[in-house]
Every structure is written in C-alpha cells, then in structure tokens.
Amino acid sequence: MTYLPTVPRTTAGPLFADTGLKLGVFGLNVTSAGAVTASPERHEIDWDQNVRLVQLAEEAGFEAAIPFSRWRGFEGRTDPWGRSFDPYTWAAALAALTSRITLFATSHCLTVSPVMAAKQIATIDAISGGRVGLNVVAGWFAKELRMFGVEALDHEARYGYSEEWLQVVLRLWEGGEDFDFHGQWLTVENGVSRPGPVQRPHPPIMNAAFSARGHQLAARYADLSFVSALDAASAGRKVREIREVAAGFGREQSVWIAASVVCAETDREARALVERWSETDLDDVAVRNAIEWTMGGARMPQEQHRQLTKAVASTMAGYPLVGTPARIAEQLAELHAAGIDGVALTWMNYEAGIPRFIDEVLPILEREGVRRPVAAASAR
Ligand SMILES: Cc1cc2nc3c(=O)[nH]c(=O)nc-3n(C[C@H](O)[C@H](O)[C@H](O)COP(=O)(O)O)c2cc1C
C-alpha cells in the first residue's frame, strides 16, 4: 500500500504562513540540549521554565516549538541529554497553555505503535485547535533503542520500518472504513482512529534525516525536512537536492536547518565562549560518547574528531550562529537567501539565550525583511 500525502491545507499554526524565515525553539525539553558541555550555566530543565520560554517565544512570533525525543543521555560526568520531558505529554500540556505556536511531538517509530501515535497526535490537535506537528524519527542511538528491545534493525531496515509506520498513521488519519495493513514490519487489523485530526488532510509531518535513504523518506512523506551544512552555499545546494527528490514524488516541502546560537557583545567574545565550553568546561567522556554513538567517532581521523569535539561541546554540531546579534542576523539572512525556510534553534543556556535573541537578533531580522513582525504576520 502506498500513500502519498500532500502539504496540509488547513492548519491553525503559522508554520506555512508568509512570515519569512521561520523560527523554532528546539530541544528545550532536554538537559544540555544545545551544547554537550559541563559549563555550570548549561541548560537544566524544569516545567515552569519550559512553559515560560515557549510562551515567550510564541509572543515574539516564533512559529514552532520542537522537543527532542530522548530516553537516555551521553553519560560522562554531567550525563548531557540524560534528563528529559516526554514530547507527547509536553506538547499536549503546552497546547493548552499557548494559542498560536505550532507544537511538535516526536516519535521514535520503533518505540511506539503507529496506532498510539495517530491517536495521540489527533488528541493534541484537538487540544490545540489544529496546531500540532509530528516529528518522525527512525532512531540512531543503539543503547537507547535496546531499552525497547529493537537494536537488531540496521539503518536501511529502520527507514523501511518508519515508512510503513507513517503509512499506517496517515491511513488512520484519513479516516473512513476500518482497514487492514500487512507490511514487512507492521500488521494492523481493522485499523481505525476517531476522531481524526483537526488539520486536513493531516497535521504537518517533520523528518530530520540527513542520509540519502532518510532524505528519500522525508521527500516522500514529510512537509518539513532538514539539511545539515556548515555554510550557506552548501545549505543551498542541499536544499535544491532535497527539493528535487520531493518533486520526483510530485511534492513540495519546507526545508529547515538546525542551528545553535552563541551570542556575545563581540565576535571575539562569542568565539571565546565556544573555546570555554569545549575546552575548560569539557565533559570529555560525554562528548566522546556523543560522537561515537551518533557518528561512529572511533573510525574518524584525529583532526576531524577534534573539530567535532569542539562543535558538539559548543553547538551540538548544529549550524554555528556564533557572534554579535548583527552577525547572527546576517548569517540567518544568508541561510534564508540560500533557500532555507526555517531554523530550529538551540542554545547552551535557553533561559538567557531566548530573551536575548528576541531582544537583540529578532529586531534586526524584522528590520532587514528576513521576517515579518508578529503583529503584521498575525493580522494576515
Ligand atoms: C530538527 C531535528 C530533530 C531531531 N529530533 C530527534 C529526536 O527527537 N530524537 C532522535 O533520536 N533523533 C532526532 N533527530 C535525528 C534525526 O531524526 C536523524 O536520525 C539523524 O539526523 C540521522 O539521520 P539519518 O538517519 O538520515 O542518518 C533530529 C534531528 C534534527 C535535525
């Protein structure tokens, strides 16, 4: 069975509105999400803080809040990513406490039944009045997946599984008669999920794969996909590539990038923060584990490993937005000009970083026409 979705036509969220470069708060629900460092200022989660910062971002016009789905951390002294809030219950509660922003929930396909996911997303869609999105993750963290007894699947098989998983979710959201699904991995008998989601034909689907196989899945099913790059020119090339693959399936999509903000009074001070978090404040065991478990670090040349250590410790290897507010705004403008539709932003310290971004970077983006001010955007 093949099911080819289209871009959602009805959504109450601002994800596809004509607001310019879209902004998402990314990873707020996980400790040390944006920088794997032992810095005493590293991000620590608490619920009231998560609510306050998502509401602040919403008020400033951010289009999305995107949680990580995480089940264990990178160990070492500080166990970065080791404490986290579950993305579904997180999104459901925030749905009731916000009114405009799109809230994503994230599913590791291997860890949750598609019947459960379809029902939960439809429920959060009802709570939010049509503002939920689903981030679909194939999984990469073997030690984490072993907690669920699903370690045996290799990369290719995980994406095969995820494809069937998505087909079941989409079929459930479509509604109509009960259906049977017999795939290689999944079997559903008399599948049904009522009520369907508020958004039609379905809530937006995000997939943030970077591999060729992952991009095939994203191009075919996702409304939001991601590229990874270290400069605007290569981001632009990758955007064109994934758009071409999507066009092959007769689809269009919004293409985002994950980026990390390191903001200071001067570019030199911002670079010094990167040095401090990745040298003086290094949690070497945690960073080594992060590189090994996410990117097979043991096989890397020493120099590449050194560079990655710095990147993971300071920006979690996201697109580095390092410098003054003006420099950060300039880099965001370059990414947007290269074809990037949105950025999923992380910080070493969200509590300080989000208000500073809103006060000092956002006005420049709005003045330069990279984004529309929120009042103008919501008046549309
Ligand atoms: C914006 C974004 C969100 C992601 N969210 C998660 C997540 O919540 N949990 C997770 O295990 N992986 C997450 N990932 C990882 C990707 O889903 C994907 O597994 C990873 O980029 C490796 O890509 P590949 O499977 O194509 O090799 C995320 C990546 C990005 C850029």
In order along its 380 residues, the chain shows pLDDT tens digits of: 334 445 555 677 788 888 999 999 999 999 999 999 999 999 999 999 999 999 999 999 999 999 999 999 999 999 999 999 999 999 999 999 999 999 999 999 999 999 999 999 999 999 999 999 999 999 888 888 889 887 778 889 999 999 999 999 999 999 999 999 999 999 999 999 999 999 999 999 999 999 999 999 999 999 999 999 999 999 999 999 999 999 999 999 999 999 999 999 999 999 999 999 999 999 999 999 999 998 887 888 999 999 999 999 999 989 999 999 999 999 999 999 999 999 999 999 999 999 999 999 999 999 999 999 876 555 43
Instruction: Report the distance separating Cα 14 and Cα 8, nearest Å.
Output: 12
So what's the pLDDT on residue 377? 52
Residues whose beta carbon lies within 6 Å of some atom of ligand 1: 26, 66, 68-69, 106, 135, 137-141, 208-211, 214, 226, 258, 344
User: Within a domain: residue 210?
Assistant: yes
Residue nearest (by alpha carbon) to ligand 1 atom 6: 68
Ligand 1 center from residue 209 Cα (angstroms): 6
User: Within a domain: residue 89?
Assistant: yes
User: Within a domain: residue 278?
Assistant: no
Q: Which of 74, 102, 135 to mutate to test the pocket of ligand 1 (most atoms within 8 A of CB)?
A: 135
User: Within a domain: residue 217?
Assistant: yes
Ligand 1 center from residue 106 Cα (angstroms): 10
User: Within a domain: residue 281?
Assistant: no
> Is the distance from CB of 148 to CB of 110 less than 8 angstroms?
yes
The parent domain of residue 170 ranges over 22-267+316-378
So what's the pLDDT on residue 229? 95
Phi, psi of 256 (to 5 degrees): -115, 170
Instruction: Report the distance separating Cα 372 and Cα 230, nearest Å.
Output: 26
So what's the pLDDT on residue 356? 98
CATH number for 105? 3.20.20.30
Ligand 1 center from residue 137 Cα (angstroms): 6
Ligand 1 center from residue 327 Cα (angstroms): 27
**What separation in angstroms does the CA of 285 have from each of 260, 316, 318?**
22, 15, 20
**Number of domains present in the structure of the chain:** 1
> Is the distance from CB of 207 to CB of 217 less than 8 angstroms?
yes
So what's the pLDDT on residue 4? 43
User: Within a domain: residue 322?
Assistant: yes
Q: Find all residues with CB under 8 Å of 293, minimum gap 6, and list them.
A: 74, 140, 141, 142, 143
So what's the pLDDT on residue 78? 98
User: Within a domain: residue 71?
Assistant: yes
**What separation in angstroms does the CA of 330 have from each of 76, 208, 315, 364?**
36, 24, 18, 9
Helices (H), 98-231: 114-128, 142-146, 155-174, 212-221
User: Within a domain: residue 212?
Assistant: yes
